[in-house]
Chains A and B, each alone.
Chain A
Amino acid sequence: QSALTQPASVSGSPGQSITISCTGTSSDVGTYNVVSWYQQHPGKAPKLMIYEVSKRPSGVSNRFSGSKSGNTASLTISGLQAEDEADYYCCSYVGSSTSVVFGGGTKLTVL
């Protein structure tokens, strides 16, 4: 199974909004509304930010939102803050292999 495709890096200034894309296929992102997103700071475990495409766990800021169109899911962070600087990973179910696959990760830099 192939990893989902994410941009290697994105950047933005404090207060701005950024969007990270996650492209899969009709076997995963395009068919199943179960995309999740994780934030990982250096040396730390990943943290769940979005699940089932657009749902936010309790305690996650409403500055984080998720969406999906076709085979591409997106994570949008509005009102960028310095603490948002981290790596972000998307994840989806793969129906053809009944398994789970992650994206390659995107490094977010807050300028």
Chain B
Amino acid sequence: QVQLQESGPGLVKPSETLSLTCTVSGGSITSYYWSWIRQPPGKGLEWIGYVYYSGSTNYNPSLKSRVTISVDTSKNQFSLKLSSVTAADTAVYYCARGPTRYYFDYWGQGTLVTVSS
């Protein structure tokens, strides 16, 4: 059974860079798309972007200037970096697997990241 687990700081200061890692277990990271999706408290889902196992990426146009998603196939991990964060970036961040670019069949449990000084 494929499992995804997010890890990283739960508190980030304004203007700093948010960094999260997703570790994939129970399956290979190859041949799939790996996405980050976030959900501000009490609000809906927002797709951040994906990385293909080969390393190619695609990002939400509204976040593109601040986002970097990378993959480490040797560790079965992929990572998110979001720079210049503000309070508006406070959210539960999910990592998810996509058999295609268009849908997500396995999700991590989510990790709350709060942006505050």
Contact = CB atoms under 8 A, between A and B. Distances in A.
A109 to B, nearest CB: 17
A99 B102 CA distance: 9
B36 to A, nearest CB: 11
Contacts of B94: 45-46
Interface string B23-67: 000000000000100000000111100100000001111100000
A32 B44 CA distance: 22
A45 B110 CA distance: 7
Question: What's the dominant secondary structure at chain B's contact region?
Answer: loop
B59 A99 contact: yes
Interface residues of B, number: 22
Nearest to A105: B44
Contacts of A1: 60-62
16 contacts: A32-B102, A34-B102, A34-B103, A36-B104, A46-B107, A48-B104, A92-B102, A93-B101, A93-B102, A99-B47, A99-B59, A100-B47, A100-B101, A102-B45, A102-B46, A102-B47
